[in-house]
A and B are shown apart, each in its own frame.
Chain A
Amino acid sequence: AQRVTQPEKLLSVFKGAPVELKCNYSYSGSPELFWYVQYSRQRLQLLLRHISRESIKGFTADLNKGETSFHLKKPFAQEEDSAMYYCAPRGSGGGADGLTFGKGTHLIIQP
């Protein structure tokens, strides 16, 4: 069964400290992987996708197929990074194009 795990419900770090939000997935085939973010009182929005290999707002995520992980990292956290973060794999075609979301990690950046 397709599954995505974000082990931390809540992660609190100080401003300027490194951040790593963990995501592990169990998926058949070669899924696409995404990170979505939801800032307070805003709608869910795409942060980054592994295909594009971009760095958005200082965040990067490397797909590790061996460990089936897609952890989100940022070297120096900023207060505006406080938000809910969701890891979301999507099937590699032929099946549902809907995203499978993890339960999310609430990131709090303390001043």
Chain B
Amino acid sequence: DSGVTQTPKHLITATGQRVTLRCSPRSGDLSVYWYQQSLDQGLQFLIQYYNGEERAKGNILERFSAQQFPDLHSELNLSSLELGDSALYFCASSPDSRLEQFFGPGTRLTVL
């Protein structure tokens, strides 16, 4: 599959813990975006990286951080987890920040 991939598919953890979600963009795409989808807030933009550099920030909590590595894959780190962080986390990529975004299948995070 040459599309956006995300691992793991599902993650169950406890409050107070820290997790890392991983995203591999489509081949050649320089821009990576992270989104959070929850029942009450809908789909929200968290953060964008472009060619390794942070490009834009959305509604990302201070407990969350991300980075994009030289091979362009990205990780989203979520720490001091709370029940309310339970959500689907999507990654998207695009060749350039102004072009169509291609979404991954998402990682479902459950915080117990």
Give A residues with C-beta under 8 Å from B.
Answer: 43-46, 49, 86, 93, 95-104
Is B25 on the interface with A (CB-CB < 8 A)? no
Is B89 on the interface with A (CB-CB < 8 A)? no
A-B contact number at CB 8 A: 51
How many Å lie between the Cα of A93 and that of B55 in the bound state? Answer: 12
The one of B43, B58, B106 that contacts A96, using a Cβ cutoff of 8 Å: B58
Whether A98 contacts B42 in the complex (CB less than 8 A), given A43-B103, A43-B106, A49-B100, comes out as no
Q: Are A97 and B31 touching (Cβ within 8 A)?
A: yes
How many Å lie between the Cα of A3 and that of B2 in the bound state? Answer: 33
Q: Are A96 and B45 touching (Cβ within 8 A)?
A: yes
The one of B33, B43, B55, B100 that contacts A86, using a Cβ cutoff of 8 Å: B43
Chain A residue with minimal CB distance to B57?
A: A96
Q: Are B100 and A97 touching (Cβ within 8 A)?
A: no
Chain A residue with minimal CB distance to B31?
A: A97
How many Å lie between the Cα of A99 and that of B44 in the bound state? Answer: 8
Assuming A46-B101, A97-B33, A101-B45, what are 7 further A-B pairs, CB within 8 angstroms?
A44-B90, A46-B100, A49-B100, A96-B56, A97-B31, A98-B45, A99-B33
How many Å lie between the Cα of A67 and that of B46 in the bound state? Answer: 28
Tell me which residues across on chain B come within 8 A of A99, comparing CB atoms.
33, 35, 45, 101
How many Å lie between the Cα of A96 and that of B56 in the bound state? Answer: 5
